[in-house]
Structure formats: C-alpha cells, structure tokens
C-alpha cells in the first residue's frame, strides 16, 4: 500500500509539469467544491425555512378546526381530524391536547391519554424542534378569545434530504466535469511551456549516465533557449576540468596503490568513499566492496575482548566530531573471515569551508610487532619473577656516562621504590652498613683497576633499621683502548639463607645436646631407681624412733628431686612418652593463667585475649600446661622488679609455604598460635641466641630459680609436637614468645 502511494505521489508531483497540472487542478477543484457547498448550504436553509412555515400553517389550521370539538369534548371527531392530517406526505405526526397537556387525539393511538411534558409557559405558537430530520410546531386552540387546548404537528425532512442529495449529485458531476476540462487545458499549456525544460533534463540525464559529449539543442530565443546556451557552456568547461581531474585521480590512485599502509576515506556519516588495495587486502575485501560501507560497523565494531565497541567512543568518530587528528595504537580491526588483527591508526579530519566533511584513516597491521613485544614482556616478567623468587637482582653501570641501570629486585633488596630517582652508585652505597662500606668501595675500586671481578658479602642498613645480608658478584669490561667502560653484576639477598643456616646450626647443637643429655639421663635414671628402691627398704627397716630416719628421708627427697630433673631432661631430649590427643588449647591456657595470676605480684597485669573458636590440636594437656607455665613464669620474672603488663593471646593463624620453609618444623596450613609477651627488661642478642640451651640461665642462684631447663623444656615439647617456637626481644623493650 505504501509503495503504491509513493508511486502515485511521484506521478502527481515528481516533475514540474505534473506539479503545475496537479496544482491548478487542486485549486480549480477547491473553488468548484466551495461554490457547490455554498449553493447546497443555502438550499438546505431555504428548504428548512419552507418546511417550518408549512408546519406552522398546518398546526394553525388544525388548531382552528379542532377548537369547537375540543370545547365540545368530542373525542371521536377529534381523532378523525387528526387522522386527516396523514393526507399530507410531509406530516410525520399530529396531535390534539387539552390545556393541561392531556393528549386527546394522536396519529399514533397508543399515545392517546398521555401528557405533554414540554408545554410552553405562554399561549402562543412555538417551534418545539427544528433539525435536519424534523420540524415540530405547537399552536394554541382558541375559541371565543380563550384557549381550549393545543394542536401539534411534526413535519418530516426526509423529502428535503432527498432533494438535497439530488443537488449534491448534480454538483459533484459539475465539479468533475469542470476538473476534467480544466486539467486538459492546463496539460496542453504546461506541456507547451515545459517542452524546452524537458530537453535540458534529458541532456542532464545523458551526462549523468556518462555521455560527456551530449549538448542541449537550442531552439528559438526565449528564456529556455538562454538556459540551454548557458548549460552547454557549463558542460564544455566541466569536460575540460574532468580531463585534468582524471589525470590527478590517476596519479593519486598510483600513490594510494603503492602505499603499504591501509588508507581509506569516509564522509561525515562514516561511510567509506575510497580505499586503497592495501586496506582491502588486510581487511579481506575488494576496494569496490568497501565503498559506501560504514567502516565502524564493518570492521571496527568489537573490542579485542569481544565486548561491543560503541561508535561514540571510536577514534574516527571523535575525529569527525571534534575536527582534530586522533591517534590510536591499541585497537583491533576484524577481517572478513572473522580474523582479528591489531592496528595502529591515525584519523585526520577533512575540513572544507570551516566544516568537517569527512576524514582520512591510515592504519597499519602491528600484530607481529605486538607478538614480539608480548614475548619480550613475558620474558622480562619471567626474569623479574625469577629474580624475585631467588632474591637476585641485576645491575649495570656505564662508567663513561656515569649511568646506573638496576632491576626492580635490586630496589626491593635495598628498600627503595623502583626508578625512584636518577640512579647513582652513591645512592646504593649509602645503604651499605657503615662497618662494611669501606670493604665494598675497596673491592669495587680494585675490579676497575685490575679489570677483574669480585665476590663479596656485606650488610645493608634499611631505613626501618633492619639489617640484611647481601652477596654481590661484579665484573668490569674495557673498551678498545683498555679503559674500563662498563661494570655489571648481581646482588642476592642472603639474609634468609644466613638465618636458616643459623637455625640449622642451633637445631643441630640442640639435637646433639639433647642426645647427650638423654643418654646420660637414661643411665642416671637407672641408678636413681636402685638408690630410691634401697633407700625405701632402709626406711622400712629403721625403727620408728631411730635418729637415722630423718637423714634417710632427706636422702629419698633428694633422690625424688633428681628423678624430676631426669624427667625434664628426657622431655627436652624427646625420649619421654608423649600421650598426644585432640585438645582445645583455650581451656588449658585459661586454667594455667588462673594458677599464674595467684602467684605473681600485684604490680604485674595479665591481659588475656583468647579466641574461643580455635580448633583442636594434637597434643598432651600436661605438656601444654607446662609450656604455658614456663613461658608465663619467664615473662613475669622479667617484670618482677619494675612491674608491667603480661599479654597472653591465643588465635588461629594460617602458615604460608614461605613461613613453613623458614621454620623448618611447620607445615603449611591452619595452626593455633600462642603468644606470650611482656614489658620487662628485655634481652641482648647474645643472650637471645642461647635461651634454648639447657642449664643456661640469667637468673640468680637462689633456691628454686635458675635451673636453665625452662625454655629448653618448652623447645623440646613444642618441636616434639610438630610445632615451632620463636622468641624476639630487645634490651629495655620487653620480649615476645610465639608458639
């Protein structure tokens, strides 16, 4: 339907000739229609006035005729008078009523006896209704100057409507006849007027189709002939310019075809108006297939991750909207076969008379370069990760230009941010421990003088005060003249290695001491068994009043103390039987703290932080109780003189692989950590290194103190249960034990 309407519209208004014909016909039609409508409207008013007068006359005649009969109350004759009104074809109804509106007679007998509800207030002839369908007139019936009733007549407009319809048909016929005659006249005049213009249009169509030699034939000397002469002159000038343009176009085409980059141009809507073969080759299209395609929708519609690429964010769209050159180096185009390739492209707007009319896009496939860059990046990342895992950094110094290049791991080892500032050798030398700085400078100077390398281990001092150990290897290269030109080397953080070596030595020492102490304690325990056994026999055989019983009791008491000492030694050496079972440490810790709180001075505060959600561990409750008691006893003895705070914390922790590797006795996974800290006097490093040695003590020799087995016993229990213990302390800053 829409296609048919478009074709009809083109036929009527597609050319000047048809527009003139249609315009004149429309004006003529409107004028005739207004004329006929005016006649019909006047005719309808006249007919309505005539019928109103006719209805008034009939109503007056009926009122005069029926007045005597209404006064005489002769209903039968009244009905006859009313029925006589049907002889008039126009009468739709007639009725007679008394003064109160009671219908006495009606052309519809069914309405006799009902009342009129719309009687006027005054006794006079009244038009009750006047419409296109009915004229209703009410007249008073008077006799001797007084009113005796009412007469009412309704005249139908049906006949008037038929007359009006006939007039309308005649009017339409006259209109159509007038339109036809007028159209034929206009057609003749317009064709005569536009004949020359059509000749010009035919010439234009021929030129558009490619015939550059055709010209408009000139006839006469009117305005159309003048247009033809001017148009022929324009065609001659255009043909000359086309020759020049074809030459330039051919030259530009050779340049575009020779270019290795893809080049295409778009109009202001993003439609491709030209493209070189390189663009088509990379995109998988011929140049003709690219023409008039929307470049963004065709091959720039999706990002590299597969998400849609909104046209508003496209670099080409920004160039068209802002009129500026927009470069992009990290985008992708999609070829015809679905292949994605990385491109960098430059979008340059085409500006004409201050307005952007299009843009030229030059792009290059950088997939191979991106792959190479990615391979280099991955290789560098792997090298950096390997250096990070090995704590090994690389450095290189240009001795001629005094420039220093370092890997990120070197910065991390020295506690500096990567590329923090202009790199100088003195920047890193300032982080070397003052006691080792001279040794490092001497080694570096010797390698430049002797053109040899060195391997040296020294300490560095971080801003936080932490001391770390590093191992450095260095070599120096010379130029063609033999002068030193470049130094390069590696730096490895060996702090953890030294710490693990120290732990290994301590562990081996403790294991050796434990083995020795365990063997001695085992043999000594056999001797104590005989001493205690025979001592008890002697005690039994002595009379109750013997003076030797007291001395013998002292012997047995000393033997029992020796037995307890042997138990501690066997526990330290891990030769005693351990009855490990699932155990909730929070209850054991709380029970031990109750005993500790009752025995420590009032100037020492105990702060406990127990996580009740800690899971069970596999341990012996007695041994755990002994560990807590020993650690808390050491803590409060460190604060006995000055007072302070003892902090006991039990919590869940997750041991990482690196932490397990540093401890050696732990396995990665969830653990329960017991922390006991104090605010006492602290310890020196020399004392801290020996705290787990049996019989080593810093306490006095008073009775009951200073056996030197407390922490050794704790160490043996914890290690025997598969745990680890770490003690940290600084002189004057208290200490902390982590189990």
Query: What pLDDT does residue 267 have?
Result: 92
Query: What pLDDT does residue 14 have?
Result: 57
The per-residue DSSP string of 238-294 comes to HHHHHHHHHHHHHHHHHHHHH-SSEEEEEETTSBEEEE-HHHHHHHT--HHHHTT-B
Q: How many CA atoms lie within 13 A of 471 on its CB side?
A: 10
Q: How many CA atoms lie within 13 A of 22 on its CB side?
A: 12
Alpha-carbon distances of 102 from 63, 95, 106, 112, 150, rounded to whole Å: 15, 10, 11, 8, 9
Q: Which of the listed residues 151, 186, 214 is the one where a domain comes to its end? A: 214
- Alpha-carbon distance of 197 to 215, in angstroms, equals 13
- Alpha-carbon distance of 117 to 67, in angstroms, equals 21
Answer yes or no: is pLDDT of 572 > 60.
Answer: no
Answer yes or no: is pLDDT of 706 > 60.
Answer: no
Answer yes or no: is pLDDT of 497 > 70.
Answer: yes
pLDDT bin (cut points 50, 70, 90) of residue 667 is confident
- Alpha-carbon distance of 153 to 52, in angstroms, equals 11
Does residue 249 fall inside a structural domain?
no
HEC letters along 171-227? HHHHHHHHHHHHHHHHHHHHHHHHHHHHHHHHHHHHHHCCCCCCCCCCCCCCHHHHH
Q: Do 510 and 456 lie in a common domain?
A: no
- Those residues whose C-beta lies under 8 Å from the C-beta of residue 90, and which sit 6 or more positions away, are 51, 54, 155, 156, 159
Q: How many CA atoms lie within 13 A of 591 on its CB side?
A: 11
Query: What pLDDT does residue 192 have?
Result: 65
For residues 666-676, give the mean pLDDT.
Answer: 87
For residues 407-424, give the mean pLDDT.
Answer: 73
Does residue 1 fall inside a structural domain?
no
Q: Do 342 and 451 lie in a common domain?
A: no
- Alpha-carbon distance of 348 to 324, in angstroms, equals 7
The per-residue DSSP string of 408-431 comes to HHHHHHTT--TT-SS--HHHHHTT
> What letter does residue 336 receive in the DSSP assignment?
T
The per-residue DSSP string of 426-468 comes to HHHHTTB-HHHHHHHHHHHHHHHHHT--EEEEEEEE-TTS-EE
- Alpha-carbon distance of 614 to 624, in angstroms, equals 15
Q: How many CA atoms lie within 13 A of 405 on its CB side?
A: 7
Does residue 416 fall inside a structural domain?
yes
For residues 157-185, give the mean pLDDT.
Answer: 72
pLDDT bin (cut points 50, 70, 90) of residue 521 is low
Of the given ranges (202-211, 291-300, 409-418, 692-701), which has the lowest mean pLDDT?
A: 692-701
Of the given ranges (353-367, 426-440, 544-558, 608-622), which has the lowest mean pLDDT?
A: 544-558
Query: Do residues 676 and 686 make contact, with C-beta atoms less than 8 angstroms apart?
Result: no
Answer yes or no: is pLDDT of 214 > 70.
Answer: yes
Does residue 727 fall inside a structural domain?
yes
Q: Which of the listed residues 179, 214, 249 is the one where a domain comes to its end? A: 214
Q: Which of 117-131, 312-326, 700-714 has the highest mean pLDDT?
A: 312-326
Q: Do 591 and 711 lie in a common domain?
A: yes
Answer yes or no: is pLDDT of 574 > 60.
Answer: no
What digits encode the pLDDT tens for the residues 614-640? 888 888 777 787 788 888 888 888 888
Does residue 729 fall inside a structural domain?
yes
CA angle at 21 for the pair 16 and 23, rounded to the nearest 5°: 90
- Alpha-carbon distance of 676 to 648, in angstroms, equals 5
What digits encode the pLDDT tens for the residues 83-136? 888 787 778 888 888 888 888 888 888 888 888 888 887 888 888 888 777 888
Query: Do residues 332 and 301 make contact, with C-beta atoms less than 8 angstroms apart?
Result: no
Q: Do 671 and 533 lie in a common domain?
A: no
Answer yes or no: is pLDDT of 658 > 80.
Answer: no
**Which CATH number is 513's domain given?**
1.10.287
pTM > 0.75: no
With a pLDDT cut of 70, the percent of the chain lying above it is: 81
Answer yes or no: is pLDDT of 575 > 50.
Answer: no
Query: What pLDDT does residue 70 have?
Result: 80
HEC letters along 623-672? HHHHHHHHHHHHHHHHCCCCCEEEEEEEEEEEECHHHHHHHCCCCCEEEE
Q: Do 466 and 595 lie in a common domain?
A: no
Q: Which of 39-43, 67-71, 171-175, 271-275 has the highest mean pLDDT?
A: 271-275
**Which CATH number is 403's domain given?**
3.30.450.20
Q: Do 470 and 504 lie in a common domain?
A: no
Q: Do 188 and 329 lie in a common domain?
A: no
Of the given ranges (174-178, 265-269, 274-278), which has the lowest mean pLDDT?
A: 174-178
Residue 738, SS3 per DSSP: strand
Of the given ranges (54-68, 79-93, 126-140, 414-428), which has the lowest mean pLDDT?
A: 414-428
HEC letters along 470-509? EEEEEEEEECCCCCEEEEEEEEEECHHHHHHHHHHHHHHH
For residues 8-14, give the mean pLDDT.
Answer: 58
Q: Do 597 and 666 lie in a common domain?
A: yes
Higher pLDDT, residue 580 or 7: 580
pLDDT bin (cut points 50, 70, 90) of residue 576 is very low
Q: Do 18 and 152 lie in a common domain?
A: yes
Does residue 197 fall inside a structural domain?
yes
Phi-psi region of 279 (alpha: psi -120 to 50; beta: other; left: phi over 0): alpha
pLDDT bin (cut points 50, 70, 90) of residue 271 is very high
* Exposed e or buried b per residue across 387-419, where buried means at least 16 C-beta atoms within 10 angstroms of its C-beta: beeebbbbbebebeeeebebbebbbbbbebeee
Q: Do 598 and 673 lie in a common domain?
A: yes
Q: Which of the listed residues 309, 332, 365 is the one where a domain comes to its end? A: 365
Tokens representing residue 53 in the block: 């007068």
For residues 490-497, give the mean pLDDT.
Answer: 82
Q: Do 522 and 412 lie in a common domain?
A: no
| Residue 298: burial class (beta carbons within 10 Å; 0-12, 13-18, 19+) | middle
Strand partners, 326: 347
pLDDT bin (cut points 50, 70, 90) of residue 79 is confident
Domain extent at residue 442: 384-493
Q: How many Å separate Cα 229 from the centre of its chain?
A: 67
pLDDT bin (cut points 50, 70, 90) of residue 703 is very low
Tokens representing residue 613 in the block: 């959600």
Answer yes or no: is pLDDT of 297 > 80.
Answer: yes
Task: Give how many domains the chain has, as a whole number.
Answer: 5
- Alpha-carbon distance of 303 to 181, in angstroms, equals 68
Does residue 570 fall inside a structural domain?
no
Answer yes or no: is pLDDT of 589 > 80.
Answer: yes
Answer yes or no: is pLDDT of 400 > 60.
Answer: yes
Query: What pLDDT does residue 441 have?
Result: 83
Among candidate residues 34, 32, 8, 43, the one with its CA nearest the CA of residue 177: 32
Higher pLDDT, residue 192 or 251: 251
Does residue 2 fall inside a structural domain?
no
Answer yes or no: is pLDDT of 404 > 70.
Answer: yes
- Alpha-carbon distance of 735 to 683, in angstroms, equals 8
For residues 511-528, give the mean pLDDT.
Answer: 68
Alpha-carbon distances of 442 from 445, 446, 456, 478, 606, rounded to whole Å: 5, 6, 11, 19, 54
Q: Do 556 and 483 lie in a common domain?
A: no
> What letter does residue 26 receive in the DSSP assignment?
H
Beta carbons within 10 angstroms of residue 360's beta carbon: 15
For residues 533-559, give the mean pLDDT.
Answer: 79
């Amino acid at each position: 339907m829409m296609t048919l309407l478009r074709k009809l519209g083109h036929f009527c208004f597609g050319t000047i000739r048809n527009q003139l014909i249609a315009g004149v016909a429309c004006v003529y039609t409107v004028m005739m229609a207004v004329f006929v409508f005016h006649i019909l409207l006047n005719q309808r008013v006249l007919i309505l006035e005539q019928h109103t007068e006719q209805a008034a006359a009939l109503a007056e005649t009926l009122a005069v005729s029926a007045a005597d009969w209404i006064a005489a109350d002769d209903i039968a004759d009244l009905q006859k008078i009313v029925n006589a009104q049907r002889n008039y074809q126009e009468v739709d109804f007639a009725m007679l009523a008394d003064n109160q509106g009671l219908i006495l007679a009606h052309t519809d007998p069914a309405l006799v006896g009902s009342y009129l509800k719309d009687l006027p207030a005054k006794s006079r002839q009244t038009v009750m209704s006047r419409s296109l369908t009915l004229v209703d007139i009410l007249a008073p019936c008077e006799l001797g100057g007084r009113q005796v009733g009412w007469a009412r007549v309704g005249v139908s407009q049906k006949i008037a409507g038929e007359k009006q319809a006939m007039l309308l048909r005649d009017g339409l016929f006259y209109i159509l006849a007038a339109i036809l005659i007028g159209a034929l006249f206009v057609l003749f005049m317009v064709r005569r007027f536009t004949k020359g213009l059509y000749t010009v249009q035919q010439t234009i169509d021929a030129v558009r189709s490619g015939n550059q030699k055709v010209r408009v034939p000139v006839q006469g000397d009117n305005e159309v002939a003048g247009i033809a002469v001017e148009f022929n002159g324009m065609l001659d000038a255009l043909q000359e310019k086309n020759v020049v343009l074809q030459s330039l176009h051919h030259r530009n085409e050779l340049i575009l075809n020779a270019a290795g980059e893809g080049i295409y141009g778009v109009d202001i809507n993003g439609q491709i108006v030209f493209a070189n073969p390189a663009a088509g080759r990379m995109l998988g299209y011929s140049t003709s297939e690219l023409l008039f395609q929307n470049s963004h929708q065709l091959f720039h519609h999706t990002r590299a991750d597969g998400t849609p690429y909104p046209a508003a964010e496209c670099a080409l769209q920004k160039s068209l909207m802002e009129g500026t050159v927009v470069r992009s180096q990290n985008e992708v185009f999609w070829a015809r076969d679905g292949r994605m390739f990385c491109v960098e492209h430059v979008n340059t707007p085409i500006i004409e008379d201050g307005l952007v009319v299009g843009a030229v896009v030059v792009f290059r496939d950088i997939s191979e370069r991106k792959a190479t860059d990615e391979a280099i990046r991955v290789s560098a990342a792997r090298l950096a990760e390997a250096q990070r895992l090995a704590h090994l950094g690389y450095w290189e110094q240009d001795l001629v230009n005094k420039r220093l290049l370092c890997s990120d791991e070197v910065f991390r080892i020295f506690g500096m941010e990567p590329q923090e500032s202009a790199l100088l050798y003195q920047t890193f030398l300032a982080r070397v421990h003052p006691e080792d700085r001279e040794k490092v400078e001497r080694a570096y100077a010797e390698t430049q003088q002797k053109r040899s390398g060195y391997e040296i281990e020294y300490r560095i001092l971080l801003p936080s005060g932490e001391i770390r150990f590093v191992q450095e290897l260095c070599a120096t290269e010379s130029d063609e003249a033999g002068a030193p030109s470049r130094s390069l080397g590696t730096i490895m953080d060996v702090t953890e290695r030294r710490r693990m070596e120290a732990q290994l030595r301590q562990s081996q020492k403790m294991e050796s001491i434990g083995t020795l102490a365990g063997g001695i304690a085992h043999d000594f325990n056999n001797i104590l068994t005989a001493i205690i056994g025979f001592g008890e026999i002697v005690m039994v055989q002595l009379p109750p009043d013997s003076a030797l019983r007291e001395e013998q009791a002292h012997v047995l008491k000393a033997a029992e103390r020796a037995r307890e000492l042997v138990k501690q030694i066997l526990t330290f050496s891990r030769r005693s039987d351990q009855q490990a079972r699932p155990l909730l440490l929070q209850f054991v810790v709380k029970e031990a703290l109750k005993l500790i709180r009752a025995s420590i001075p009032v100037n020492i505060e105990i702060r406990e932080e127990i996580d009740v959600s800690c899971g069970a561990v596999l341990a012996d409750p007695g041994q755990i109780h002994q560990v807590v008691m020993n650690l808390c006893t050491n803590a409060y003895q460190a604060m006995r003189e000055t007072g302070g705070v003892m902090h006991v914390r039990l919590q869940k922790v997750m041991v990482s692989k690196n932490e397990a590797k540093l401890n050696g006795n732990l396995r990665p996974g969830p653990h329960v950590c017991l922390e006991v800290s104090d605010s006492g006097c602290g310890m020196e490093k020399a004392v801290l290194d020996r705290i787990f040695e049996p019989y080593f003590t810093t306490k006095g020799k008073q009775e009951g103190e200073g056996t030197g087995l407390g922490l050794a016993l704790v160490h043996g229990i914890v290690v025997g249960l598969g745990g680890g213990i770490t003690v940290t302390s600084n002189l004057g800053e208290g200490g902390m034990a982590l189990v």
